[in-house]
Amino acid sequence: MAGILVYALHDDEGNFNKNSLGAISEAARLAGEAGGEAAALVVGEVADDACAALGKYGAAKAYRAKGVPEGLAQPIVDAMAKVMQDEGFSYALFGGGLLGFEIGAGLTARLNAGVTMEVTKVKVADGKLVAERPILQDSQVADVGYVAEPGIIIGRLNAFDANEGDGSADVVDVDVELSPWSSKATMVQRGEQRGADVNIEDAEILVGGGRGLGAADGFGLCEELAESMGGAVAATRAVVDAGWYPYAAQIGQTGKTVAPKLYLAAGISGAIQHKVGMQNSENILAINKDQNAPIFEFSDLGVVGDLHKILPKLTQAIKAKKG
């Protein structure tokens, strides 16, 4: 194997994304086993020392495409494709998140390469990479191999842990010519926060609300219950996009990742995109009227019933118990 190239996403302040750093560590581990080296690709005006610091996570080189804007996929497809081809990388690896899906998919078309997404684990067999992808609501895991190189692997959110050690990456500047269609989408505003700023990451008890609440005011039930337990309220993407609850409280694929002592899911179906953000909670209690909801497959206690009846009584009972 000739090497693995990882896209390292960063925010407007230049902080690298945790999932990208995890993907770099994973690439370094795989390169150690299969031969070749792990490298990262960074776009935009990122400082030398910030790029070199990717070496701490296992990148031997950091390719920097200064003229390529961050935040939209297609210019980064141009950069990834150029470095993959010029330097002869065997695989491209992306940490979980939205941009990784888009860039990986675009790269598939550009390089006529195989792609596997929602990957939770990567292993080496005969010097090649094999991606493990859970399918059919995580009821089975497919081992996916690549017929030819290069291959593209898109991780699931939080699939790869970032391991920080010593090391410094060599920073290599690359000139990338953008495809004509890559500059036809332009960012007007990036990373707008909508709604109140709430902190859910430090809470030991979280009451999460989903579509099953029925309407925005259903969150009142969650807030009362959370208050009775000294916890906070979180939400699914569907209800945040619908404007029922602030973005800062969102858990999942494009939101926050939490691991409280108790996660009480009220009216949440448990789609993979939500699951990846809360499955490491110590105790998961789900209330849902649909007995086939996927959330029951990974909850410790599942209650099949109407949350509008159960939540108010539960709040009362907890208050009474606490006196």
Partner 1 sequence: MKICVLVKEVPDAAVQKRIDPGTMRLDRSGEKNLNPFDTHAIEAAMQIKEGGAIPVEEVIAVTMGPDSAVRALHKAVALGADRSVHLSDDALAGSDVCATGYALAKVLESESPDLVLLGQQSDDGECYTIGAVVADHLQMPSLTQVIKIDVEDGKLRCERQAEYGYDTVQVELPAVISVGDAINEPRYPSLKAIMGAKKKQLDAKANGDVGIDGGMVGEAGSKTAVLALNPPPAKEAGEIIEDEDTNETVEKIVAWLDERKLI
Closest CA relative to residue 114, chosen from 86, 150, 139, 159: 150
Taking CB under 8 A as the criterion, which residues in 200-219 touch partner 1?
205
Q: How far apart are CA 38 and CA 56, in angstroms?
A: 12
Q: How far apart are CA 32 and CA 210, in angstroms?
A: 43
Q: Exposed, middle or buried: residue 28 (CB in 10 Å: 0-12, 13-18, 19+)?
A: buried
Cα–chain-centroid distance for residue 54? 19
First vs last Cα of the chain: how many Å apart? Answer: 64
Query: Would you count residue 101 as binding partner 1 (CB under 8 A)?
Result: yes
- Element (H or E) spanning 3, and its range? strand 3-7
Taking CB under 8 A as the criterion, which residues in 229-248 touch partner 1?
229, 237-238, 240-242, 247
For residue 31, the one-letter residue type is: A
Q: How far is the CB of 79 from partner 1 (least distance, A)?
A: 14
Q: How far is the CB of 315 from partner 1 (least distance, A)?
A: 9
Count of residues of this chain found to bind partner 1 when the rule CB under 8 A is applied: 94
Taking CB under 8 A as the criterion, which residues in 272-311 touch partner 1?
283-285, 291, 296, 298-306, 309-310
Taking CB under 8 A as the criterion, which residues in 131-190 touch partner 1?
134-136, 138-148, 151, 154, 179-182, 184-190
Identify which of residues 170 and 177 has a Cβ nearer to partner 1 in the complex.
Answer: 177
Q: How far is the CB of 74 from partner 1 (least distance, A)?
A: 6
Site track 102-141 with partner 1 (rule: CB under 8 A), x = hit: xxxxx-xxx-xxxxxxx-----------x---xxx-xxxx
- Contact, 45 vs 15, CB < 8 A? no
Q: How far apart are CA 174 and CA 76, in angstroms?
A: 12
Residue whose entry in the numeric block shows the structure tokens 């909508």: 194
Q: How far apart are CA 59 and CA 301, in angstroms?
A: 42
What secondary structure letter does DSSP report for 212?
G
Query: Would you count residue 49 as binding partner 1 (CB under 8 A)?
Result: no
Q: How far is the CB of 38 from partner 1 (least distance, A)?
A: 22
Taking CB under 8 A as the criterion, which residues in 70-99 touch partner 1?
71-74, 77, 97-99
Query: Would you count residue 2 as binding partner 1 (CB under 8 A)?
Result: no
Identify which of residues 166 and 192 has a Cβ nearer to partner 1 in the complex.
Answer: 192
Identify which of residues 47 and 125 has a Cβ nearer to partner 1 in the complex.
Answer: 125
Taking CB under 8 A as the criterion, which residues in 11-40 touch partner 1?
11-12, 17
